[in-house]
Structure 1
Amino acid sequence: MTKLNQIIAVEKGVKSGATRELADKQALLGKPTLLAGLARTYQPKDEEGEQLPPESTRVQVKSEQVLRDTAATLTRLFDVTATKDWANCEAKADVTVDGTTLLSAVPVSYLLFLDKQLTDLLAFVARLPVLDAAESWSFDDSSDTWRTDAVRTIRTRKVPRNHVKAEATDKHPAQVEVYYEDIAVGYWTTVKFSGALPARRVNELSARIDKLRRAVQFAREEANGAEIADRRVGEVVFDYLFG
């Protein structure tokens, strides 16, 4: 019996080899001189005439042989692909995390899908916005967001003041310098809100996704290790096509 992972391992090589051989065969059929043959003999008009040797050219490429070779090449590819595709319908495994089976008898094709989606989801979670660690946050049920404690700050306003540098005399006016003084006029009470997530939550999500992804990968390897039946469909197909 063959295992699914063995078929998967050889499929790529068989496919590339078949593609290459078909291209070579197509190139041969595109050279008319290789398909052409010739045989001719010469006979002079009379016995005293010049004797010439016979000429011949052998046919080097025969289309029917090319068809037989093509059928042989593609039969292997058809059989390998059929074996893999039939096996993908039959090979299944459970996805188990921490001893709990989350999904039962999952086909290989869906395990491949899950692996790709979980990889993308892990990258998505890694880009989630995280709360500013410089602030102290608590969850506010009324707004369904995170919030900081209220911080009270003073609002000030600049008020001009006069500073007399020199008193006025009968000869000179007073020398006055204007300066501004910050005077408290009110108070701001500020609460910050955020729709981001705590770093702890993001780390928990990433760890959970990664754990499930590893369980899926384990299940896929288990399914790929199942013994499968070799399928023989290529010969039937090409007996009909080229027979």
Structure 2
Amino acid sequence: MTKLNQILAVEKGVKADAQRKLTDAYHTIQKGPLLSGISRSYQPIDDEGEQLPSESTRVQVQAEGVLRDVAVALTRLFDVTATKDWANCTATASVTVDGQVILADVPVTYLLFLEKQLVDLHTFIGKLPTLDPSETWALDENTDTWRTEPVKTTRTKKVPRNHVLAEATDKHPAQVQVYNEDVVVGYWTKVAFSGALPQRRVNELLGRVQKLQDAVKYAREEANGVEITDRRIGDAVFGYLLG
């Protein structure tokens, strides 16, 4: 019995071969001289006249023969494709992760779709924003976001001060230097919030996607290993077309 993965292995080559032969046939039938022939002989009016040799050109290509060659090439393609498509209707497998069936009896065509989607999903998850590791974060249930511990900082204000360089005398006023002093006038309490994810959560999601990707690949291989029935579609098609 033929298996689906065997048909898939030869499908690309059969398709390329059929396309090449169809293209060659198309170019061949465009060459008018190859389809044309001639036979010409000369007969003088009397026996004393000049004798000239006969001329002939044989037909090198017959359109009916080209059609038959194309039919042979396409019949193989039609049969292989039909065998694959009919098999895809029955080829299924279950996606199992850690012994748990996630998806049961999935068609192989959907497994292919799912496999491609999971590649994109893996890339997307890998780009998710993560929390700044230099901070300590806790989940705030009121806002459903992550928050840091409160950080208290001071607010200062410059207050002018006088520094007496020389005391006043009966002859000279006091010498005073004015300078500014930073004085604490209040406190800031800062709490940062973030909608990003902890790195451990992103790693967990990536691990789950990877497991699911592997499971889908295993399921696809299992589905492609199903025994199938060879279909003979080409003979029916070209039996009608060329009949």
Task: Establish whether TM, by shorter chain, passes 0.5.
Answer: yes
C-alpha distance in 1 between matches for 2:172 and 2:47:
153
Q: What is the match of residue 242 of structure 1?
A: 242
Q: Which consecutive residues of structure 1, in runs of 5 or more, have no partner in the other structure?
A: none
CA shift at 1:53, angstroms?
1.1
C-alpha distance in 2 between matches for 1:162 and 1:207:
67
Q: What is the match of residue 223 of structure 2?
A: 223
CA shift at 1:14, angstroms?
0.7
CA shift at 1:135, angstroms?
0.6
How many aligned residue pairs are there? Answer: 243
CA 1:186/1:54 → structure 2, altered by over 3 Å: closer, same or farther? same
C-alpha distance in 1 between matches for 2:203 and 2:144:
21
Q: Which consecutive residues of structure 2, in runs of 5 or more, have no partner in the other structure?
A: none
State how 1:1-243 maps to structure 2 within 5 Å: 1-163=1-163, 177-243=177-243
CA shift at 1:164, angstroms?
5.1
CA shift at 1:160, angstroms?
3.0
C-alpha distance in 1 between matches for 2:4 and 2:169:
110
CA shift at 1:161, angstroms?
3.2
Deviations 1:135-193 (A, max 9, x none): 11111111000111111110111223344556789999876554322111100011111
Three-state SS of the structure 2 residue aligned to 1:147 is: strand
CA shift at 1:63, angstroms?
0.6
Report the RMSD for the aligned CA atoms in angstroms: 1.9
C-alpha distance in 2 between matches for 1:107 and 1:49:
84
C-alpha distance in 2 between matches for 1:171 and 1:75:
125
Deviations 1:54-85 (A, max 9, x none): 11001111111111111111000000000011
TM-score when normalising by structure 2: 0.94
CA 1:190/1:59 → structure 2, altered by over 3 Å: closer, same or farther? same
Three-state SS of the structure 1 residue aligned to 2:59 is: coil
C-alpha distance in 1 between matches for 2:168 and 2:240:
123
Larger CA deviation: 96-105 vs 123-132: 96-105
Give the partner amino acid of 1:17: D
CA 1:169/1:78 → structure 2, altered by over 3 Å: closer, same or farther? farther
C-alpha distance in 2 between matches for 1:103 and 1:218:
13
C-alpha distance in 1 between matches for 2:17 and 2:63:
20
CA shift at 1:240, angstroms?
1.1
